[in-house]
Amino acid sequence: MQLHEIKKNVESLDNKFDALVGSLDLPQRHETIERLNAETLADGFWSNQRAAQVVINELNVNRTLVNEYEAIKDALVSINETYEMIRLESDEDLLALYEEEYLSLATIFEAFEIKVLLSDKYDNNNAIIEIHPGAGGTESHDFAAMLYRMYTRYIERKDFKIEVMDYLAGEEAGIKSVVFKVSGPLAYGYFKSEKGVHRLVRISPFDGSGRRHTSFAAVSVTPEISNVELEIPDSDIIMETHRATGAGGQHINKTDSAVRLIHKPTGITAGSQSGRSQHANRDEAMALLKARVLLMMEEAHIAELDKITGVKSAIEWGSQIRSYVLHPYTLVKDTRTNYEEGNAEKVLDGELDNFIYRYLSMGEK
C-alpha cells in the first residue's frame, strides 16, 4: 500500500475507535469489574457453580474489553509516531513497518469492535442451539449434519465448550435433530446471528441420477438463562421420555432417561439427554423450556410495541437467512446483509466470523 492509502485507513480506524468508546462506557466497565471481583472473593461464592460461572464470564468479558481498549489506544499512538518519523525521514523500512502496524491494528480492532457490538441483554450468556432439517428426507438430514459440523468447528476456533443435550440420528445419514449447549464468553452474542432457515443447493450424493437438490434446515438459538423467574404449572406440560441416542443412532444408556417437554399453551418444546438420570434431564429441559417461554413473552411484547409505533422488528423469525450453493458454482450468501463468499468449503468448515461481523454491524446502523 502507498503511504497516503495507509494514512487514510488509519484515520478511518481512529474515527471508528472514538465512536466505539462512547458505547464502551469505560467508567461503568471499571465499576463492574470491581463489583464482580468482590463477588468472587466472597465466602460461599462457589456454592452455586452455575451462578458463579455466570459471574466469572461477565468479569472476563469486561476485563478483556478494557484491556483491548488500552492495547488499541497504545497501538494508535505508536502507529502515528511511525507516520511522523516517515514524514521526517522517508525510508522503505519505516514504510514497511507502518503497513505492518496498520494490518495488525486492523485485525485487533475488528475483533474489539465485535465485542463492543455484543452488548444486548443476553449476549454474554451461553447459547442453546437446535438444528432441525426441513422436508426432503436423507438430503435435508445430511444438510443438518453439515451445519452441526460447521458449528462445532467454529466452536473449536473460538475455544468454546460444547455439550450435546439431545441427539436424534437420521435413518440413513445425517441428523433428524440435535440440541447442544455452547459455553463461553459472549457465546449467545456470536451465535444469535445463526437463527433462522438455512438453504443448501447441490448435486445430492444420495441421488443416483445426479440431480441438483435444494434442502432446508432451521436453526434455533436460545440464551441459557439461569434462575428464570417464571412459574409453569405441571398441568401445562407434557413430558415424553425415550432412550438417549448418540451419533450413528446407537443407544447410549439402557433406560428411557432422555426427556422432552412440551408447553401445551404455546407448543414450545425442550429436550435433554445429557444427564445421567431422567430427573437430571427433566431439570435441564425445564430450564431451557422456561428460557424459551420467557423469550417468547419478550418477543410478543416487542411485537405489540411494533403495532403501536409502526416500527418493524429487526429479526424476521423463521425467514431464510443464508444460502449455501455448491452447484453449479460455489457461493455462500447471507440474505440479510448481502455479504457473500465464494469459498463455500471454507465457510462450512467453520469460518463464520465475516458473516457474523456483517450481521452485528448491520444491527448498529
Least confident residue range of 11-20, 78-87, 237-246: 237-246
DSSP characters over 44-76: TGGGSHHHHHHHHHHHHHHHHHHHHHHHHHHHH
Residue 226 reports pLDDT greater than 80: no
Residue type (1 letter), 72: I
**CATH code linked to domain 3-117:** 1.20.58.410
Q: Where in the chain is the domain with CATH 3.30.70.1660?
A: 127-364
Using alpha carbons, select from 147, 138, 133, 143 the residue that is nearest to residue 177: 133
Q: Helix, strand, or coil here: 204?
A: coil
Which strand (E) or helix (H) includes residue 119? none
pLDDT of residue 124: 85
CA geometry: angle 13, 357, 181, nearest 5 deg: 140
Q: Report the pLDDT averaged over residues 4-29.
A: 89
Q: Helix, strand, or coil here: 221?
A: strand
pLDDT of residue 247: 55
Pairwise CA distance, residues 37 & 290, whole Å: 29
pLDDT of residue 251: 47
Query: Which residue carries 468482590 as its cell?
Result: 38
What average pLDDT does the chain have? 86
Split at pLDDT 50, 70, 90, the class of 314 is very low
Q: Where in the chain is the domain with CATH 1.20.58.410?
A: 3-117
Phi, psi of 183 (to 5 degrees): -115, 135
Phi, psi of 84 (to 5 degrees): -65, -35
pLDDT of residue 8: 94
Split at pLDDT 50, 70, 90, the class of 227 is low
Q: Report the pLDDT averaged over residues 213-239.
A: 85
pLDDT of residue 79: 95
Pairwise CA distance, residues 320 & 61, whole Å: 31
Q: Report the pLDDT averaged over residues 324-345.
A: 96
> For the segment 105-148, what is each residue's pLDDT rounded down to a tens digit?
999 998 888 888 887 778 888 999 999 998 778 999 999 999 99
Pairwise CA distance, residues 131 & 220, whole Å: 6
Q: Report the pLDDT averaged over residues 45-74.
A: 90
Split at pLDDT 50, 70, 90, the class of 249 is very low
Split at pLDDT 50, 70, 90, the class of 277 is confident
pLDDT of residue 315: 29
pLDDT of residue 301: 55
Fold of 127-364: Alpha-Beta Plaits (3.30.70)
Q: Report the pLDDT averaged over residues 153-174.
A: 92
Split at pLDDT 50, 70, 90, the class of 316 is very low
